[in-house]
Amino acid sequence: MRVTELPIWARLENAKSAAEAVSMRSLFERDSARFERFSRRLALGPSGSLLLDFSKQRIDEGTLSLLLELAQDACVLEHRDRMFAGERINTTEDRAVLHTALRNRSERPVHVDGEDVMPLVRQALAHMREASEAIRSGAHTGFSGKRITDVVNIGIGGSDLGPVMVVEALAPFTQEGLRTHFVSNVDGTHLHETLRGLDPETTLFLVASKTFTTQETLENARSAREWFLGRAKEERHVAKHFFALSTNEQEVTAFGIAKENMFVFWDWVGGRYSLWSSIGLSIAIAIGMDAFEQLLEGAHLVDEHFRTAAPAENLPLLLGLIGIWNANFWDIGAHAVLPYDQYLHRFAAYLQQADMESNGKGLRADGDSLGTDSGPVLFGEPGTNGQHAFYQLIHQGTRLVSCDFLVAANTHNPLGRHHTLLLSNVLAQAEALMRGKTEAEALVELANTSMPDERKALLAKQKSFTGNRPSNFFLYDKLDPRTLGALIALYEHRIFVMGSVLGLNSFDQWGVELGKQLANKILPELEAGAKAGAHDGSTTALIEEVRVRRGLTQ
Ligand code: G6Q
């Protein structure tokens, strides 16, 4: 049954109608304990704790309990248990969904088809430790005996976005003299510009591809091998400079990478959930295996919390339900992730895939339509940059955007007043979105100016803000591997909760297939001597135009 047909859905619609008349300002005025009521803390061991403030959402106790009822009626927690138990909840691909097993730091076994996968996970981690330590210590050298100075991860989508985001986020934990690069785009410019200035003798390539059949990655890997062999000359040297991170031994071998240089994972790890697996080898090399394991620990803390905390205390559950409340009841079609943390400058790009590829679907897993909207558009930039770019629309546009603000209480780089300024900005933005500014307040501000009253009235209109724009606020002590692991896992499970409520399969991605199919059809039509095949008028004309501009037709 569609979630929209559950009686609780109609009750929530009524609650939304009633809430329209209530401003967030008045909610705060009425209830001095609102912050305590609508915030939660999650202990992160040696990394302190994470505070989630969701008091600047358009909710009250009544709505919150209705949302928790929705979770119950939509069987979200049963679905969660089935995921952790290794059931094949990715039904359209007939796979279990067990990225949580990759960061299971407990002794608890995790079964897939009756087999405990934890020994395999530990073995894969040990392999990553051995390799990353050898590279970081200089024990693993290039073919000419020189130390590796540059690691290039070649992968795309899930085999790129997570690793690059984490390596950027944890820059303070990286080793001097060992640089990490990421090449994803099939546009040759990406590989060319990355390799410019690198030395084949001291460069290690990690070919990261779950399937090892991805067009972009294989093309980049082939060109990288050519570049390498241009200097190394002999095929046998490839072994020291090319590692494969994959589930597909056959294709890895066919590519010419030896089995001992293959770092494995399994089909129950989805691409966009794979940074915790061997796909994270670039992270382990960059920050060291101990720090990588702290990242896993942070995620494990959140997994345990999601698995066991009471619904009203359960952060991912609350975040997911608030997400549904905003997107499906208030019609807020866009969600901005706004880290006031320069180290998280790739966080929104990473979450864009995690969220939009997971929940950007119009059908339920059973094939029925959702009956409501799919997950929202997700975007974001670090603060304060975004303030000088797109915040105008967030404050005064007619389309609503829900926001997540993230900030560390303390910085890795104490520099003058920078961090205090950063903090004042993020706090101000959340306050401004909630409070807004009435026309009367704007008029008061203009009272002492000499302009004519008419102009004052006009400006007061322009300078007023509706407010009532919802945001979550995440505050952590300092961005370290454990905190980052926890943050990522929180978002992963938020996505899970939203997908579960809607009844869709968050773990497939059929929507990326059509473009791939058509590109394969068009590819030969762009070669010399070929003709455009059957397409619509626009596509045929564009193919022809490309051919003319590339000198392929007379
Ligand atoms: C993620 C998607 C997708 C995938 C890439 C790369 O969930 O499945 O982004 O990660 O298409 O795939 P390979 O790792 O197989 O090269």
pLDDT (tens digit per residue) in 283-292:
999 999 999 9
Whose CA is closest to 294, among 271, 276, 311, 309? 276
The pLDDT assigned to 529 comes to 81
Query: Quick one: how far is CA 157 from the chain centroid?
Result: 11
Instruction: Identify whether the C-beta of residue 250 lies closer than 8 Å to the C-beta of residue 256.
Output: no
The preferred substitution site among 210, 277, 357 for testing ligand 1, maximizing ligand atoms within 8 Å of CB, is 210
Closest ligand 1 atom number to CA of residue 273: 7
Distance 249 CA to ligand 1 centre (A): 17
Please pick, among 259, 388, 418, 521, the residue that the annotation labels catalytic.
388
The pLDDT assigned to 528 comes to 81
Distance 281 CA to ligand 1 centre (A): 16
The pLDDT assigned to 540 comes to 94
pLDDT under 50 in the chain at which residues? Answer: none
Q: Whose CA is nearest to atom 16 of ligand 1?
A: 209
Closest ligand 1 atom number to CA of residue 272: 7
The pLDDT assigned to 531 comes to 81
The pLDDT assigned to 495 comes to 98
Tokens representing 263 are 């770092």
Is position 388 annotated as part of the catalytic site? yes
Dist CA 370 CA 423 (whole Å): 40
Phi, psi values for residue 373, rounded to 5°: -75, 150
DSSP bridge partners of 244: 207, 262
Closest ligand 1 atom number to CA of residue 214: 16
Is position 419 annotated as part of the catalytic site? no
Q: Whose CA is nearest to atom 10 of ligand 1?
A: 158
Dist CA 406 CA 403 (whole Å): 10
The pLDDT assigned to 474 comes to 99
The pLDDT assigned to 530 comes to 84
Distance 15 CA to ligand 1 centre (A): 40
Q: What is the pTM of this model?
A: 0.98
Tokens representing 499 are 């997908």
Please pick, among 233, 461, 516, 521, the residue that the annotation labels catalytic.
516
Helical ranges in 310-346 per DSSP H:
315-324
Instruction: Identify whether the C-beta of residue 174 lies closer than 8 Å to the C-beta of residue 291.
Output: no
The preferred substitution site among 156, 217, 277 for testing ligand 1, maximizing ligand atoms within 8 Å of CB, is 156
Find where tokens 């403030």 sit: 53
The pLDDT assigned to 57 comes to 98
With a Cβ cut-off of 6 Å, ligand 1 is lined by 156-159, 209-211, 214, 217, 270-272, 357, 509
The pLDDT assigned to 554 comes to 59
Instruction: Identify whether the C-beta of residue 232 lies closer than 8 Å to the C-beta of residue 204.
Output: no
